[in-house]
Chains A and B, each alone.
Chain A
C-alpha cells in the first residue's frame, strides 16, 4: 500500500503538517518496501485554488491513502473522485503515524 502523509520536513522523523493544501512536504511511503519519497509541496506559494491543485497532484501520485489534519471543501471534492482512503492525524511524527496506520489505529476522516 502507498500512503501520502503531509509533513513539516522531508524525512520520517518530521512532524506531521496538519494542513493539507499548504503542507510543507508530502511523504509518500510504501508499506511493503518500507521506502519513501519526500516531495516539497509544489503549490505552497500559489495564490488560490491550492486545495484543488494539491488534491489533483495527490491523485496523480496514485496512492491508496492520505494522512493529514484537515482537508478543505474544494480539496475534498477532488479527492473524492479518486479511490483512496482519507485519515485524520492527531499530530506526532510521520513515523508514528505510519505505525498507527499499519496497526489500524488511525481515525478515518469523514465529514
Chain B
C-alpha cells in the first residue's frame, strides 16, 4: 500500500501527519520526497546507514570537434544551449535550464562533439528509524527542480511489500505530480484557514484529474471552525481525521518531538479506513 501525504499550502502539517502514519503502520517505509527541504528526519530521528549521490546527465561540448551546426540548440525545448559568435564559434550552456532530456546528444551529428556527463545535483540518505525504513531525497541548494530526483528515488528505493508513506512537497507543481503518481491513496492535509482552503481546492482538482482516491486530514482543527468541513461536505470528500489544534503539539514540534504514542491508535484507524477506501 502506497500512501502519499500532500497539501496545497505549505506548513499545514504534511510531515506531522506523514510521520504519525509511518509510526502507526506495522511495516512502514517512509520516503521524504520534499527534497527542497526534507524535515521528516527531525521527528523520526533515523540512523543514516548510506548516503548515495544523485546525478543527472548534462551536455558537455568539445569545441574542437563541434561544427557549430546549432542542431543541439534547435532541439533544446528549454533553451539551455545557444551557439554564439560571428562566425559561430562558441556553444554556451545554461545548466539551470537543462531538463536532462538528452535531445541535444541525440541530434548531434558529429561523433564526440557533444557528450553527456554526470553532474551531482543532490543525494539520498537511507537508514532506519526504529522499525521504519527511512529514505530522504535532498536537492542541492540552488538546483531548480526536484522532479527527476523524486522519480529516481521512487524507482530505486520504494518497497512494494511495505506500507509506503510518501511525504510530498507542497503545491500542485511537477514535483507533487511526480510524488503522487502511481500511489494507491492520497491524504490531503489542510488547515481551517482561508489560505488553507484555497490551496486545498487546487490540490483536490489535481488529484481528481489524476484519478487518485483521496481523503482529507484537518490539522490544527478547531471545534467552532467548520471551513474545511463545509467544503468537504459540499464536494463529497471524506474527512479521515481531525487533529485538534494544541499548543502542546506545537511546542513539541518546535523541538522535534511529536506525540506518536498518544495518537498511534487514532492513526492505526486512519490507515485501516484508507485500506477500506482503496
Contact = CB atoms under 8 A, between A and B. Distances in A.
Interface of A: 46, 48-50, 52-53, 56, 59, 74, 77-78, 81-82
B82 interface: yes
Interface residues of B, number: 11
Interface of B: 78-80, 82, 84-86, 90, 92, 94, 97
A78 B84 contact: yes
Given A77-B92, A81-B90, A46 B84 contact: no
Given A49-B97, A56-B84, A59-B84, A78 B92 contact: yes
A78 B92 CA distance: 8
A46 B92 contact: no
Residue of B79, B85, B92, B94 ringed by the most chain A CB atoms within 10 A:
B79
A38 to B, nearest CB: 24
Nearest to A55: B82
Given A48-B97, A49-B94, A81 B80 contact: no
A44 to B, nearest CB: 14
Contacts of B86: 59
Given A48-B97, A49-B97, A74-B94, A81 B85 contact: yes
Contacts of A78: 82, 84, 92
